[in-house]
Chain A
């Protein structure tokens, strides 16, 4: 007799656990407000990334098309993947002195692992992370970016750090 009671006990216990599970899914079925999907391309205007989000490395330029990079290439040394390449040039200044200046700042987004070391070590805060995250392009070459804008120059009154 006990076996029969156990049989039914097991059966009803099983059914009860199944119904408990169905209660949870049923609850969400009738509560469409709990949907958390973000309608991505539509919400582009309102979608705001967090300030610290590491989207890609950029070099901010001010209104005079001037940046802060002194071409010290500390970022290049610190990058674990070799995704930064700083090419400098010697420019003759008005007072006749030769001075190192940034020629091209190449940033290979395709190789970047967003570890943040370059931004952290930059003594001039010349590079920052921007919040853009839509990196998809049709051509791999487009992921190799030049960060300094054409014709840009070094911002004055920035102490130049020489690295041997």
Chain B
């Protein structure tokens, strides 16, 4: 393998070796886990705060407004102020709620998103767990959040919440199919479910280019279904503030509400990360394949000077921006139309697309 200046693998191995050499294996493992956990927590918080800010700014510009501009320069500390406010807010106890499940629900939602983020490769050597079933794991874990939403809706003992939770359940069960299928399309092309292998396979061109037509269709389907899975507009039926006031989190306040809020943004980040990783090569810089000729070598080298982490973040942000763009443009769908979109359009197209991709891989028609 070619030497890469931004490869953090050796750094990680050095820390690993240092710990295991000097400490008993058990404690070394504990410290390692703690370190990774703290790093993820920090990353989680920073990304969460940033995404809230970004969403507010993006929607403000779309809507001819300035957006947050009071707290700090350009309002960059606005979300921190909001977060402090949410921390200090009273947690309103609901008399007739199922107390245990009511308190448990936000944690389930946030843990689900936390677990999913662990398997995502952020850069060369920045990869907490590299499963051989990485894609499968991320899909499975990220859909666990719906349990939290259902619990929240049910245990709030509020009619709006229950309707919202039920909608969310129907929605996620249906759209999980499309998310899975569209990823399977790429798994066929990549021949592996391991995320690191998938990224590595895109060294000579991202899958969205090498897989051309079926990969592009799969990408579109994934973006639509992924937006639906994160309960974001135009698929925000579970919250649907003009119909159900706030849907499943009507009764939540303070930090518990913040958990739902943060989890929603993190789910968006996870979906965008998967889209960037699977279709756009994750941290892999933009490379041109050898079919374009010898000169691409120089171009690829130039691209390599941009650190992989920035590639990854940049791609993810582009996907996130597209999702925000959706939300701030479209009206909300109705529940039957939501299901119609899935079962009448996305799923048949997806199934056809898998066959097409299989055919292309079989015949070697991809780049």
Contacts and interface: CB of A to CB of B under 8 A. Distances in A.
Contact of B61 (A11, A22, A24, A29): A29
Given A11-B345, A26-B325, A18 B330 contact: yes
Given A11-B345, A26-B325, A37-B66, A21 B61 contact: no
Interface string A33-74: 011110100000000000000000000000000000000000
Contacts of B65: 35, 37
A25 B63 CA distance: 8
A18 B329 CA distance: 8
Nearest to B322: A22
A107 B325 CA distance: 51
B58 interface: yes
Nearest to B349: A11
Nearest to A21: B329
A25 B64 contact: no
Interface string A1-32: 00000000001000000100110111011001
Contacts of A32: 61
Interface of A is mostly: helix
Given A11-B345, A18-B330, A32-B61, A25 B66 contact: no
Interface string B60-73: 01111110010000
Contacts of A35: 61, 64-66
Task: Name, among B58, B64, B65, B326, the residue most crowded by chain A CB atoms within 10 Å (CB to CB).
Answer: B64
A29 B66 contact: no
Contacts of A29: 58, 61-62, 325
Given A35-B64, A36-B64, A37-B65, A25 B328 contact: yes
B293 to A, nearest CB: 35
Contacts of B58: 29
Contacts of B63: 28
Given A26-B62, A39-B66, A39-B69, 15 more contacts: A18-B329, A18-B330, A22-B325, A22-B326, A22-B329, A25-B328, A25-B329, A29-B61, A29-B62, A29-B325, A35-B61, A35-B64, A35-B65, A35-B66, A37-B66
Interface of B: 58, 61-66, 69, 325-326, 328-330, 345
Closest 8 pairs between A and B when the two form their complex, measured CB to CB: A25-B329, A25-B62, A37-B66, A29-B62, A21-B329, A29-B61, A22-B329, A37-B65
19 contacts: A11-B345, A18-B330, A21-B329, A21-B330, A22-B325, A22-B326, A22-B329, A24-B329, A25-B62, A26-B325, A28-B63, A29-B62, A32-B61, A34-B64, A35-B64, A37-B65, A37-B66, A39-B66, A39-B69
